[in-house]
Structure 1
């Protein structure tokens, strides 16, 4: 039985992701500026994303569908087909964007592998997440890959129970998805803040929780693992 099962989030933990959504949102606003009045487009788009999560799930494809829905609503149905075509093209650009690893990503996964089994736990579109993992060059470093529809305490309980380690940990940039539900499942939760966070992933840090830790970057993970390895 391994001492640890250590889970890593993918997007904005091991490689950049959210900044491409923000850039696309800016392009979307420019594209719609000639066809609508008012400045509430970001709020409209966020609300569309919120209500569509249960239908489309997380990821670029759901984001594109929410942009199209928002474009139709914001223009009272007058949005030209050429604009819809441009939104679809922006989505294809996102799906083809090269992977840009965050600093110390490889070293962090290598350090975790010295402590036990290492599992990539990510949510989003299956094909896109598989593409990003393959392009990252990190795929062979993981003992398992779990691409899930959402991250809940039940998700983490199921994954960590499957690997059977005495102790478990989840490392990620999202307090809402990576840390808080992992803590609820009995694991350690390690927060690695990213400069850009999607509004729907924002949550208050559980500072008083005994299994909560925060590090400034993945460069600090080996030291933290050394501290916890013998005294979990």
Structure 2
């Protein structure tokens, strides 16, 4: 049982990247704390299994890099959640290639930016009108410590996550005073299926940069996400929350 039982009672959430990792963990906690959740993810098979495990209202299999699919998913989700979307957790993302800039594959660059940055924009663009209509919303855009510091041989990922931070600052300022709060999360590397996309040398490098000497646990970032997504987060907006084990300096 969650220590925050009932924190999300009456609230409805959309979680992207909800089939695994941070998205799944955050969704599970929102449901455990009384909320209703719709999961979005590209992988239809793992999405179905995650929905059963989490207790989601429904799921939508889509590519967040497709703006028309995102707009349709928002309509479907709003209807499934009874005419409201109170929370958006945008955690869908990919790492892309591991290579120096001069060798970085152009198709990988475009795909990373399309999912990690454009996808966040599409999701916020589609969901914000529902939040404004109800005068309430919490948006959590998952960025990364890489967006603050940059990781070598991960230029697309670092650039896309820096873009998420800047985009969220702009969005939060636009929505300030309208009942809708938007912040980004900047975690250091944590144990997650996304690490399977990286060579071990890259994972070891990222671990070496964390003063606490270990990777994060997904539950640690999920706890922060749920604070950011709750009514308790009522004054901080257009900002970043850090779960980096001491790595970030600002």
Query: What TM-score do the two structures reach when normalised by structure 1?
Result: 0.45
Query: What TM-score do the two structures reach when normalised by structure 2?
Result: 0.42
> By percentage of residues, which structure has more helix?
1
Higher relative contact order (CA 8 A, sep 6+): 1
Greater CA radius of gyration, 1 or 2? Answer: 1
